[in-house]
């Protein structure tokens, strides 16, 4: 019976989980994995320089940081649902225009808006929804939600290639934009900011009528005492943002370098590298849920340490030269790195600030996290250039840099006072 209650989210709760997962799916497919097809496609179609288009993606990341700061305040004022719908429409429209880019200037502007708002409707805006719907079960819930990221890595490129083959390159990309807009419209009519708005309770848990009344009163017209100034002066805010910012930096770095590592350093064909990447993605689906379960079982802080140790071992395994067994072990383990970071960022913020003050805290934490995450390519590039040719491997230096990023993340995680609750909830979580 207890096990049944643990996963009894109700129909509306499960739909909220699936919808948030679909947002992660579209973000991963369009703004991350899809670029592996889109960028070379534009180079072939327009004759544009590949390295220049890649640099535009870096600029898009920087613009995305500005967008994150602006939308953070909008979430606090208008609610996460409003921002999700708005961001889906803007990102979708931008991807439609992106598909028909007639100049490099148009390409740059559209990719900035497309990717910037894709991160908003996924990473940024789903966090407040999860925190309010599932404050106690957020670990396993985020495990389900983030499993859609490796699912996208395993399937979206096949979908995109089919769309391009069927409808043409530009039309195929535009259709992904239409899909994003449709998803936003669906959310407009089917998603609520809080379970109370849907006639439910947090975590779908049973409550007395008195408790229901108290919860409803605490949710109405609440204004968090946590101002931006107070949050920026708070140590735990910086520790959470930096801990998971460096964790995501390592995550992004290992994935971006995985294919060249396999082809250049390990000597495998591009086809085999694709197979290995797909295996990592499929493993990531199961392991994302496993990280969510571990989060719920032992707590976010301990689970974060476990994941960082797991990450370091996966990279060390990958660094061992001329060993097929350790390479495959590393591929499976790297798959486990794909979803956990986004899981822990939301979970830790909820743990410390609760559901009522989550929006205010996350509005500061996420943009700082985003700044660090955006440094991934420059971070990896530095180590690739200046710490190279280790064990006769060109990209080994980059992976050593990622181990350093994990150690930095560990230091920040260790500084988070996990038992100090800074929120003002009537429903104080118990772990």
- pTM here is 0.88
**Helix 337-353 and helix 126-133: axis angle, to 10°?**
60
- Would you list the domain boundaries of the chain? 9-200, 227-431
Instruction: Characterise 83 by phi-psi region: left (phi > 0), alpha (psi -120 to 50), beta (else).
Output: alpha
Task: Select the highest-mean-pLDDT range: 32-36, 111-115, 333-337, 383-387.
Answer: 111-115
Tokens of 415: 């500084």
Task: Identify the CA nearest to 348 among candidates 402, 310, 291, 283.
Answer: 291
Per residue in 231-290, pLDDT tens? 999 999 999 999 999 999 998 888 777 777 788 778 888 778 878 888 888 888 999 999
**Does 7 score more than 70 pLDDT?**
no
> Which of the four pLDDT bands, split at 50, 70 and 90, describes residue 62?
confident
**Does 191 score more than 70 pLDDT?**
yes
**Does 71 score more than 70 pLDDT?**
yes
Tokens of 160: 């995109």
**What pLDDT does residue 212 have?**
67
Candidates 2.40.30.260, 3.30.1490.20, 1.20.20.10, 1.20.1250.20; CATH matching 9-200: 1.20.1250.20
Per residue in 412-424, pLDDT tens? 999 999 988 888 7
**Does 211 score more than 80 pLDDT?**
no
> Which of the four pLDDT bands, split at 50, 70 and 90, describes residue 5?
very low
Candidates 1.20.1250.20, 1.10.10.10, 3.30.830.10, 2.60.40.1510; CATH matching 227-431: 1.20.1250.20
> Which of the four pLDDT bands, split at 50, 70 and 90, describes residue 427?
low
Reduce the DSSP state of residue 276 to 3 states and report it. helix
**Does 377 score more than 60 pLDDT?**
yes
Question: Is there a common fold for 9-200 and 227-431?
Answer: yes
Q: Please state the rounded mean pLDDT for residues 217-223.
A: 69
Mean pLDDT over each residue of the chain, to the nearest integer:
88
**What pLDDT does residue 208 have?**
66
């Amino acid at each position: 019976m207890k096990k049944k209650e643990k996963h009894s989210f109700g129909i509306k709760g499960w739909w909220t989980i699936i919808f948030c997962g679909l947002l992660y799916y579209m973000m991963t497919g369009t703004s991350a994995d899809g670029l592996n097809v889109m960028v070379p496609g534009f180079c072939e179609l327009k004759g544009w320089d590949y390295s220049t288009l890649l640099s535009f993606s870096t600029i898009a990341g920087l613009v995305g940081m500005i967008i994150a700061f602006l939308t953070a305040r909008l979430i606090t004022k208008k609610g996460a649902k409003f921002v999700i719908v708005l961001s889906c429409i803007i990102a979708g429209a931008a991807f439609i225009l992106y598909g028909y880019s007639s100049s490099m200037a148009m390409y740059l502007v559209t990719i900035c808006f497309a990717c910037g708002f894709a991160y908003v409707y996924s990473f940024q805006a789903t966090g407040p929804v999860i925190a309010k719907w599932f404050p106690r079960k957020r670990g396993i819930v985020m495990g389900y939600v983030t499993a859609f990221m490796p699912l996208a890595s395993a399937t979206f490129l096949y979908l995109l290639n089919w769309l391009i083959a069927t409808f043409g390159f530009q039309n195929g990309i535009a259709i992904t934009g239409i899909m994003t807009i449709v998803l936003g419209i669906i959310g407009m009519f089917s998603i609520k900011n809080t379970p109370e708005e849907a006639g439910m309770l947090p975590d779908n848990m049973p409550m007395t009528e008195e408790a229901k009344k108290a919860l409803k009163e605490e949710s109405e017209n609440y204004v968090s005492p946590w101002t931006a100034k107070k949050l920026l002066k708070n140590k735990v805010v910086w520790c959470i943002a930096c801990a998971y910012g460096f964790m995501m930096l390592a995550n992004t770095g290992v994935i971006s370098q995985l294919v060249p590592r396999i082809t250049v350093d390990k000597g495998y064909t591009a086809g085999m590298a694709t197979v290995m990447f797909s295996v990592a993605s499929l493993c990531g689906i199961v392991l994302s849920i496993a990280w969510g379960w571990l989060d719920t079982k032992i707590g976010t802080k301990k689970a974060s340490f476990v994941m960082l140790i797991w990450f370091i071992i996966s990279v060390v395994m990958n660094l061992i030269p001329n060993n097929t067994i350790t390479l495959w072990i590393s591929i499976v383990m790297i798959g486990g790195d794909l979803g956990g970071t986004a899981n822990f960022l939301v979970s830790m913020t909820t743990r410390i600030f609760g559901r009522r003050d989550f929006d205010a805290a996350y509005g500061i934490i996420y943009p700082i996290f985003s700044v660090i995450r955006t440094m991934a390519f420059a971070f990896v590039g530095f180590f690739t250039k200046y710490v190279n040719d280790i064990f006769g491997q060109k990209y080994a230096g980059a992976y050593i840099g990622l181990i350093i990023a994990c150690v930095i993340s560990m230091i920040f995680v260790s500084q988070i006072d996990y038992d100090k609750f800074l929120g003002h909830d009537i429903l104080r979580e118990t772990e």
